[in-house]
Amino acid sequence: MSIKAVKAALLSLAALSATACATKGSYMGLDKEKAYDAELAVARLTEVVNNDDYFELRQDNSILVFTDPKSYKIWLATEEIPLVVTKFRVGPSGEKAKFQLSKNDSAAMGNTAGYKGASQKMYEGGLDGIAKNFFGFVYNQTGNTYFVFDSWTALKAFKASGGTPAGFTSSNGPKGATVVYVGASSEPAELAKKFAALHDGK
């Protein structure tokens, strides 16, 4: 079942009752208790699953993977990732990989053996990006090119093929990089805006 479907099911359960009682520890009645549990599950699901963004950089014999724009922007400014796990010999040519973690990922990793954060699961194919409003890119230092996507399916196919996809090409990327908006015949305004904002318009 997709994340969207799970959310919808949980929200439908929550809608069976009026707003749950806010007093912690008090009994609210069976229906209200069920609604409260459903609302809490939706909140936790939203916090844990971070699959609407995906940024992969292949550079300096390393692979860096982010699912959080704020962490990516911190890395751009400092070359440090606030919360990260490093894995060795992960890439196709034996590169090490650094996977950005959310606070929830970091806490879960400390408590659960073998736990993987969203960025690692997406990189490995264990978690799909959302079907709607997805935003991501893959950067190759060789060629100094960003391949930008609004479709997880297209990004996944690109990673699997290793080819050079067609799309609208711009030379206005960060530090003179080329930007390819994959699958677009003209500059996609919203996608270009997101990409520029991620890099502070530079």
- C-alpha angle with apex 15: 9 to 16, nearest 5 degrees? 100
Q: Residue 156, CB half-sphere, CA atoms under 13 Å: how many?
A: 16
**Which tops the pLDDT comparison, 48 or 176?**
176
Q: What pLDDT band is residue 23 in, cutting at 50, 70 and 90?
A: very low
Asked if the model's pLDDT at residue 42 lies above 70, the reply is no
Closest C-alpha to 157, from 190, 125, 117: 125
Is residue 64 located within the same domain as residue 13? no
Is residue 98 located within the same domain as residue 161? yes
The 10s digit of each residue's pLDDT in 58-111 is 998 999 999 999 999 999 999 999 999 999 998 888 899 999 999 988 888 888
Is residue 32 located within the same domain as residue 57? no
Is residue 61 located within the same domain as residue 21? no
Q: What is the mean pLDDT of residues 40-49?
A: 51
pLDDT of residue 30: 75
Q: What is the dihedral of CA 35, 39, 44, 47, to 10 degrees?
A: 170
Is residue 28 located within the same domain as residue 124? no
Cβ within 8 Å of residue 176, ≥6 positions away: 144
Is residue 101 located within the same domain as residue 160? yes
Most confidently modeled range among 13-27, 31-45, 177-191 = 177-191
What is the count of structural domains for the chain? 2
Is residue 29 located within the same domain as residue 119? no
Is residue 26 located within the same domain as residue 119? no
Is residue 15 located within the same domain as residue 65? no
Is residue 80 located within the same domain as residue 19? no
The predicted model scores a pTM of: 0.75
What percentage of the chain carries pLDDT values higher than 90?
A: 61
Is residue 174 located within the same domain as residue 189? yes
Q: Which two tokens stand for residue 194?
A: 């997101």
Asked if the model's pLDDT at residue 40 lies above 80, the reply is no
Domain hosting residue 14, numbered range: 3-48
CA 92 – CA 124 distance, rounded (Å)? 12
Q: What is the mean pLDDT of the chain?
A: 84
Is residue 89 located within the same domain as residue 120? yes
* Torsion sign (Cα): 26, 27, 28, 33: positive
